[in-house]
Structure 1
Amino acid sequence: MTEQDQAAPADEITHDNLMRRSAERPRRGWRKALYEATGGRYNPGISEAEAERNALLRRIRRQLPGAHRIAVTSIKGGVGKTTVTACLGLTLAEHRGDRVVALDANPDAGTLADRLTGETSITVRQMLEKIDDIDSLTEMSRFTSLAGRLQVLASDQDPAMSEAFNRDEYTRITTVLSRFCNILLTDSGTGLVHSAMEGTLELADSMVVVGAPTVDGASRAGKTLDWLAAHGHREHAENAVVVLSHDRSSEEVDAEKIHDHFAQRCRAVLSVPADPHLAAGGRIDLDLLRESTREAFLRIAATIADDFPAR
């Protein structure tokens, strides 16, 4: 055996190395119809759009070595923060094989559970009362409701009780949730100085800041980043994903300038188009969203998953 042969070992015997390449089976549109009509004898392959969607799904399904906490926030309400939390949670839960939970930490009787399941009779307060007894997924699930595969933990509907939800309690809740779930999303409310928010920021692995392509909506997102940077969370601000909700927009505002502004300040800027299903403010069903809206949340979920640590 020559020195060159020793330096170039044979290829490993793997599925990818041995199987002949074939066009990927189409699962959407006329390509799928043609494939099925010919019994699979003719495969036109997948479209560029489907290939792009498959690439997003591969990013979303990136494996996690442990729990990952995502905080969704804005310095003020009215920009679609709860909607983004709900749709992002539903998207991650639908396309991943692990467990995803969404927690409403809003101090003002949050609406996350209303938008997802309508179940608000069992809340974070009841879970706190029994937290020392929770030693299994079954026990944890007694305090959550299900929207598809997404588990949802409602906030207290009595604002006086919600105000008492403090940093230590938030930490206890997320410790238990992270024991049984791989991804935890927190709809963090609008009070950045609220006690529970301190715990949210301290424990967050990823940050989503929600704004709108309007003067006040962009200003709120910008002030949120300013506040984070000024209060010891500069890394969160720089690594944040800014989501601009187009339910409120104006032709008088240069949306491209808003996008460019945030692109210079954080990791990524993504937009959610206006959607009548979301604008209604009722129960959210991904199947009722426009295709462009579902794709927007796939992009947001994939961008968040890019931040998952390597195994």
Structure 2
Amino acid sequence: MPVPAVDPTLVPAHRRSRTGDSLVRRTRRSLRQLLLSSASRDVAEATRIAQVLQQPVTTGRQIAVTSIRGGAGKTTVAALLNLTYAHYRQDPVLVLEADPALGTLPIRLAAPAVRWTCSDLAEVISPSMQFAEVTGYLVQVEDGGWLLPGSQGQVGTRLELPSYRAVMMALRRFFGITVVDCETLPNSLARTALAAAHARVLVAPATMEGVASTRAVLEWMADVPRPRLLPGTVVALTMSSPDMTIDAAAASAYLSAVGVRVVTIPYDRHLAAGGPIRTAALGHETRMAAGHLGAELLNLALRKPR
């Protein structure tokens, strides 16, 4: 029985969110575009990102997204990656919620209802299934891609490791890229997903404590002998407020000193408002950052076949 992703009685409480860019920011960008050199650089970078994101994939690539604590923006980053890959790629893209404890991914991706979960699919999946059969258990995302939720919004839902592994192995042949929204570290399922993924995102809130804790996790990852986790990891530094007191460039330098790439996801009014993410409403810098992050991850995911 399908369950609405959001209680219908709550829907009227959600106001229409503003666009990611304020009027001032849009005006400044328009003025910059009047300078041909600035405009040409923007076009060149956008073209480069698009070419990377459209690289052919021979076997399914898995990208795991996790964080050290809740509220870092992990699910938002997973949703942004799904929308980015789905926009640029011709092959099917899947985002899987491996965080069943009241996960919010269906809300962020505007899923009208949730019927099947990852645990449910694990009970019926079989090697003989065809793509059309598999998608009958998934939610088609309006802005692109497919979604497999982790729960139906119920407290106490669990996703066991055997179920997760069975689903990931079965779905790999159908989707060029699968983005996995993991539980926070050091949960065992998150560690398993990180080890099995072809590339990883560690989401760090742009706060002193968030950056310090993320650095500690990166140093731990550097000490893991097999599989080697750090070389395939990118940090997404998320700015959740326009009044962040940390210097993003200094924080990025501090984290990248461990040997990882850092991509800053700027403050975006549309993302900060919560609710469904609409690609058209995202700020220009946010779309570019999501594209940059997606390109970095795909390059890492294609570097070494598993």
TM-score computed with the length of structure 1 as normaliser: 0.78
**2:131 matched to 1:137?**
yes
Residue matched to 1:161: 157
Q: Is the CA contact (8 Å cut-off) linking 1:213 and 1:250 kept in structure 2? A: no
Q: Quick one: distance in 1 between partners of 2:226 and 2:106?
A: 28
Residue matched to 1:40: none
CA shift for structure 1 position 234: 7.0
Which one scores higher on RCO, CA 8 angstroms, separation ≥ 6? 2
Residue matched to 1:6: none
CA shift for structure 1 position 220: 3.3
Q: Is the CA contact (8 Å cut-off) linking 2:66 and 2:181 kept in structure 1? A: yes
**2:63 matched to 1:70?**
yes
Q: Quick one: distance in 1 between partners of 2:244 and 2:271?
A: 21
CA shift for structure 1 position 238: 3.5
TM-score computed with the length of structure 2 as normaliser: 0.80
SS in 2 for 1:58: helix
Residue matched to 2:5: none
Residue matched to 1:151: 146
Q: Quick one: distance in 2 between partners of 1:193 and 1:161?
A: 15
Residue matched to 1:306: 299
- Structure 2 gap ranges (5+): 1-29, 32-38
Of the structure 1 ranges 100-109 and 212-221, higher mean CA displacement relative to structure 2 is found in 212-221
Compared CA separation, residues 117 and 207, structure 1 to 2 (3 A): same
Q: Quick one: distance in 1 between partners of 2:257 and 2:167?
A: 35
Q: Quick one: distance in 2 between partners of 1:264 and 1:282?
A: 35
Residue matched to 2:262: 269
Compared CA separation, residues 243 and 233, structure 1 to 2 (3 A): farther
Residue matched to 2:47: 54
1:168-183 alignment, distance < 5 Å: 168-183=162-177
1:189-268 alignment, distance < 5 Å: 189-194=183-188, 196-232=189-225, 235-248=228-241, 250=243, 252-268=245-261
Higher-Rg member (1/2): 1
SS in 1 for 2:216: helix
Q: Is the CA contact (8 Å cut-off) linking 1:65 and 1:309 kept in structure 2? A: no
SS in 2 for 1:91: helix
CA shift for structure 1 position 231: 4.8
CA shift for structure 1 position 134: 6.0
Residue matched to 1:123: 117
SS in 2 for 1:235: coil
SS in 2 for 1:220: helix
Q: Aligned residues, how many?
A: 265
- Structure 1 gap ranges (5+): 1-28, 31-45
Q: Quick one: distance in 2 between partners of 1:257 and 1:48?
A: 24
Q: Quick one: distance in 2 between partners of 1:142 and 1:239?
A: 33
Q: Quick one: distance in 2 between partners of 1:286 and 1:110?
A: 21
Q: Quick one: distance in 1 between partners of 2:155 and 2:170?
A: 24
